[in-house]
Amino acid sequence: MKKVLIAALMALGLSGCSINPEDQALIDSVVTALPNEVEGCSFVGNVDNATVRPSIEWARNELRLQAARLGANHVVETHLAVAPYRSFLWSERDFEFPGHASMINASQFYMSGRAYLCPEGKGVKVAPPRPLPPAEEH
């Protein structure tokens, strides 16, 4: 029974890892910027993780998603907290597959930031791609 409960909890936890295409499009519409890169942009609001996340990428994506939902196209990350996480519901010896134990006993990430709406011509400047050097003939 204990193993069934653990498997069910893990399935629920893993199902929250996928991002639907609409949210992914919103995430992709927001650029992470430095404070000096949002000069001339309008501050929209503060964003943060409602809870800690299992990876820095997940925490960063959540900031960008919240910024997009506020109508922003840039986010400046202001704080990052990393905390070790230990599960008190079960120990590593309860798992038949050791890889799952390391996933549950992983660090947790919390981020906060400031969301900005930058008009065209303001915000992060993307450098044009460098031309490739000519191919050497042999």
Taken in order of first residue, the domains within the chain and their CATH numbers are: 20-117 (3.30.110.70)
Between 92 and 122, the more confident residue is 122
Alpha-carbon separation of residue 2 from 19, 90, 96 (angstroms): 30, 9, 12
| 119 touches 44 (CB < 8 A) | no
Residue 31 confidence (pLDDT) above 80: yes
Residues 76-111: pLDDT tens digits?
999 988 887 655 444 455 555 554 444 555 678 889
Residue 4 confidence (pLDDT) above 60: no
Between 95 and 51, the more confident residue is 51
Tokens of 96: 């038949």
The percentage of the chain sitting over the pLDDT mark of 90, rounded to a whole number, equals: 42
Between 8 and 78, the more confident residue is 78
* Mean of pLDDT values over 49-56: 79
* Residue 6 pLDDT: 39
Residue 67 confidence (pLDDT) above 90: yes
Tokens of 83: 């905390």
Quote the mean pLDDT of the chain: 76
* Mean of pLDDT values over 4-24: 57
